[in-house]
């Protein structure tokens, strides 16, 4: 039997998500169609709605990606000859 105490997912309009993320509505819909945000076309006529909890998941994913890119840039910068000095034979 499903847990009836669990709250139902809350869905937001793409314009609300765009405002929260500081991006355009078209970008929100592109993120949904790419599977990076969870959403669906609901109602009649069908309109895009985005699951609110997926926004936090998306931001976590973006934060992790930024962290990894920063580490990669640090490692890449450390491999420049100017950093390690002249080669020794």
- In tens, the pLDDT along 15-36 reads 999 999 999 999 999 999 999 9
In a domain, 33, yes or no: yes
With respect to residue 89, please indicate whether it lies within any of the assigned structural domains. no
Q: What pLDDT does 70 receive? A: 87
Q: What is the pLDDT of residue 81?
A: 60
Q: How long, in residues, is the chain?
A: 89
Assigned domain for 88 exists: no
Domain membership of residue 64 (yes or no) is yes
9 closest CA partner among 46, 52, 59, 62 = 52
Number of domains in the chain: 1
Residue 7 Cα distances to 10, 53, 87, angstroms: 8, 12, 62
Please state whether the peptide bond connecting residue 45 to the residue before it is cis, i.e. omega within 30 degrees of 0: yes
Q: Does some domain include residue 86?
A: no
Query: Is residue 83 domain-resident?
Result: no
Spatial CB neighbours of 56, under 8 Å, sequence gap ≥ 6: none
For 28-84, the pLDDT digits (tens) are 999 999 999 999 998 899 999 999 999 999 999 999 999 888 888 877 666 666 555
Give the bridge partners for 72, in sequence order: none
Domain for residue 4, yes or no?
no
Stated pTM of the model = 0.71
Q: Can you give the residue range of the structural domain that contains 27?
A: 11-78
The pLDDT of residue 5: 73
Residue 84 lies in a domain: no
């Amino acid at each position: 039997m499903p847990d009836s105490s669990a709250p139902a997912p809350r869905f937001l309009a793409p314009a609300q998500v765009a405002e929260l993320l500081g991006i355009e509505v078209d970008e929100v819909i592109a993120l949904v169609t790419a599977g990076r945000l969870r959403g669906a076309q609901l109602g009649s006529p069908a309109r895009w709605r985005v699951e609110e909890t997926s926004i936090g998941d998306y931001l976590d994913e973006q934060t992790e990606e930024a962290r990894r890119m920063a580490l990669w840039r640090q490692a890449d910068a450390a491999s420049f000859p100017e950093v390690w000095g002249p080669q020794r034979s």
